[in-house]
Chains A and B, each alone.
Chain A
């Protein structure tokens, strides 16, 4: 074991930085630095550049278009992307459904969907939660009735992130009701343009529109879009959740956000003093940093396993729990630093063409909305309570 970089690694680091400098849109970067929502174009433009470079899918096997990077290269890439504030690649395609298709998909499914995920031609969303099935996902009731050439689906999905832009949804549906709930679920791929699909926004506390309700009324899904076997969707879903939990730790983004807090702390925002002189505040920053360091090592360990082809185990839940808490802590610190300027509500300040004057410092303009919005991280992706249940059962064997 060692943590040092070789000469090749250092050269790779330079290559990553050159790539970012040449390809990252300045306005997108500014939005990220100030915590604003990104548009579809912001995300897709960046992903297309990654694709052109061949760097879209570090987590995929090389034969499907993965990078074939070593653990060190994966680490360097994440680190540099985090530090430079590049858009996070949308996880639903490349980190969530793609590993499922690679593991369980037919040859036809692989050749049809994987290249379109790589090139960002398809925008994917996740159809898991339902109004009555959140933490208790297995109780889901969206019903798929079998027809000659496929299924007809009726039901409602909720908390569907960025479904307003989506071309495809991977969806869990009930194909059998006369058995244990987990045994009657199937995993399918749904074309969002199918007749009977409608998307309705859910506005969150920060005033943003990220999540949606998706209503399915007599929606046809062809039988070719079933992944793995009918009624084996729970196996597929569990495989996918392990991958989701690993990617949800957001270590490099949190490192960047925390270094931003340290920058803010250096500003003279307390009369002619700064928060750097306030040990009450700085101790909180450091405590957060300590937890983040522990998380970083744990995440590296999981990447190392991934490179070796070992699938994520229940320990991934620990990454999700701490990663989500740290993201929230950092937003608390920015909120505290903002003082009175946490109050103004200026949601459209970064939009192109907006000429409202900025109120207070730029960095504080999203402090409160960001704090409110980030409450979601301990709720989504399987709430932290559910993650603790998983750990209690699978690791503690209680």
Chain B
């Protein structure tokens, strides 16, 4: 056992932290959100140059073969910097599902273009009524004259409006809720029949409703073995959970730090409010919650490096985002007083992102249930 970072990991950590501090300030982040474009091209180019877009891909696929701990390191810093670039939707969600699919020219080309920063990709797995059940798929794909015809509605697809390709989960056989019978297709953004309703999210990201009205695709757009998509989606989601646990850890430690700074400087009754014991105990509780997040996120990454079979640590980290993250977030706002609820203060921006992370890929109630089932 060794819980310290190796030399390569130290390098990644230093380079991401340096980038966040030097380049990714709150003002330019807000400017990107206001632009409604979803990301800043210049920043995305730098992500490619720094090798971050290729980090989780295997060397065979042209990536750097980074493991879960590498991903953890980069995402923790992204959390601290509150990065809104579509790294999760393109590199982690879409990148992972593509890399799990068998090699094909279309798969390899898109992975290549992700790594080089030429393409953004989005993964559409949720539907309006499916809530967090990835096997509840109403979108259908049927073979008509040697072409696949896709019909359905994909909900809250992150980054879809800015993506060059969208990966769609669709039912090719079986009944509602069957794990068997789900297939994965890749669709070009310009494909006829594809309707994308793009909108901002409350935490500064972009998402879209994606509707498929007779989207015709050739067989090469079916990127997994027919009917065998479910396990690939599940593994992709588990891997993404490791990444967002790290992001949440970065956000929570930053919120704790910002709040500590605030209670040291804000004066009421002639003293800094941090002098009051009632405030001190609550801030200590925030430290503990943030530290727990860090532990759970690290544990999840290290366990995932061994195998994705045992997902308890991963689920535990997701549960803590919902329960511990909510508590810490609410305390951070409360201790900032009125300033905490203003759009102008950064603490609220972190609060919003942390809140939305609970709704992403299954909330704490969902994973409490899932964890209880496997324990």
Question: Which residues of A approach B to under 8 Å, CB–CB?
Answer: 129, 132-136, 139, 158-159, 202-205, 207, 211, 268-272, 278, 280-281, 328, 332, 335-336, 338-346, 357, 359-360, 368-369, 371-373, 375-376, 378-380, 383-385, 388
Contact of B43 with A by CB under 8 A: no
The answer to whether B268 and A271 touch across the interface, beta carbons within 8 angstroms, is no
The answer to whether B129 and A271 touch across the interface, beta carbons within 8 angstroms, is yes
Residues in B neighbouring A360, C-beta threshold 8 A: 128, 155-156
B350 CB to closest chain A CB, in angstroms?
Answer: 11
Stretch from B250-258, B290-298, B355-363 forming part of the interface with A: B355-363
Residues in A neighbouring B176, C-beta threshold 8 A: 271-272
CA distance A345 to B155 in the complex (A): 14
Closest B residue by C-beta to A207: B343
Closest B residue by C-beta to A138: B269
Contact of B219 with A by CB under 8 A: no
A21 CB to closest chain B CB, in angstroms?
Answer: 34
**Choice from B342, B355, B363 contacting A202 with Cβ under 8 Å:** B342
* Contact residues, B315-373 vs A (CB, 8 A): 326, 330, 333-334, 337-338, 340-344, 348, 351-352, 355-356, 359-360, 363, 365, 368-369
The answer to whether A343 and B177 touch across the interface, beta carbons within 8 angstroms, is no
The answer to whether B342 and A343 touch across the interface, beta carbons within 8 angstroms, is no
Contact of B133 with A by CB under 8 A: yes
Contact of B197 with A by CB under 8 A: yes
Stretch from B50-58, B59-67, B83-91, B201-209 forming part of the interface with A: B201-209
Closest A residue by C-beta to B368: A280
Given contacts A336-B363, A372-B348, contact A345 B341 (CB under 8 A): no
The answer to whether A372 and B334 touch across the interface, beta carbons within 8 angstroms, is no
CA distance A207 to B337 in the complex (A): 18
Some 14 contacts from A to B, beta carbons below 8 A apart, are A129-B338, A134-B268, A205-B348, A338-B359, A340-B131, A342-B359, A345-B200, A345-B201, A359-B199, A368-B356, A372-B202, A376-B338, A379-B337, A383-B334
The answer to whether B359 and A383 touch across the interface, beta carbons within 8 angstroms, is no
CA distance A136 to B269 in the complex (A): 6
The answer to whether B126 and A271 touch across the interface, beta carbons within 8 angstroms, is no
Given contacts A134-B337, A271-B133, A375-B330, contact A205 B343 (CB under 8 A): yes
CA distance A373 to B202 in the complex (A): 12
The secondary structure that dominates the A interface is: mixed
**0/1 string, B152-167, CB within 8 A of A gives 1:** 0001100000000000
Contact of B24 with A by CB under 8 A: no
**Choice from A280, A328, A344, A388 contacting B201 with Cβ under 8 Å:** A344
* Contact residues, B261-278 vs A (CB, 8 A): 267-270, 273, 278
CA distance A360 to B153 in the complex (A): 12
The answer to whether B268 and A136 touch across the interface, beta carbons within 8 angstroms, is yes
The answer to whether B132 and A339 touch across the interface, beta carbons within 8 angstroms, is yes
CA distance A375 to B330 in the complex (A): 8
**Choice from B156, B205, B268, B333 contacting A341 with Cβ under 8 Å:** B156
Residues in B neighbouring A328, C-beta threshold 8 A: 330
Given contacts A340-B126, A345-B199, list 20 more A-B pairs with CB under 8 A.
A135-B268, A202-B342, A203-B344, A204-B341, A204-B343, A211-B338, A270-B133, A271-B130, A271-B177, A281-B365, A341-B128, A343-B201, A343-B207, A344-B156, A344-B199, A345-B200, A346-B199, A372-B351, A378-B334, A384-B334
Residues in A neighbouring B337, C-beta threshold 8 A: 134-135, 379, 383
Residues in B neighbouring A136, C-beta threshold 8 A: 268-270
Residues in B neighbouring A281, C-beta threshold 8 A: 365
The answer to whether B155 and A341 touch across the interface, beta carbons within 8 angstroms, is yes
Residues in A neighbouring B340, C-beta threshold 8 A: 375, 379
Contact of B136 with A by CB under 8 A: yes
CA distance A207 to B200 in the complex (A): 13
Residues in A neighbouring B368, C-beta threshold 8 A: 280
Residues in B neighbouring A280, C-beta threshold 8 A: 365, 368-369
The answer to whether A205 and B351 touch across the interface, beta carbons within 8 angstroms, is yes
The answer to whether B363 and A339 touch across the interface, beta carbons within 8 angstroms, is yes
B70 CB to closest chain A CB, in angstroms?
Answer: 28
CA distance A80 to B255 in the complex (A): 42
Closest 5 CB pairs of A and B: A136-B268, A340-B156, A203-B343, A343-B201, A368-B202
Residues in A neighbouring B197, C-beta threshold 8 A: 357, 359
Residues in A neighbouring B360, C-beta threshold 8 A: 340
Residues in A neighbouring B129, C-beta threshold 8 A: 268-271
The answer to whether B136 and A271 touch across the interface, beta carbons within 8 angstroms, is yes
The answer to whether B341 and A372 touch across the interface, beta carbons within 8 angstroms, is yes
Residues in B neighbouring A368, C-beta threshold 8 A: 202, 352, 355-356
Residues in A neighbouring B205, C-beta threshold 8 A: 343
B210 CB to closest chain A CB, in angstroms?
Answer: 12
CA distance A21 to B6 in the complex (A): 71
Closest A residue by C-beta to B369: A280
CA distance A272 to B127 in the complex (A): 13
* Contact residues, B230-284 vs A (CB, 8 A): 267-270, 273, 278-279
CA distance A373 to B209 in the complex (A): 26
A326 CB to closest chain B CB, in angstroms?
Answer: 14
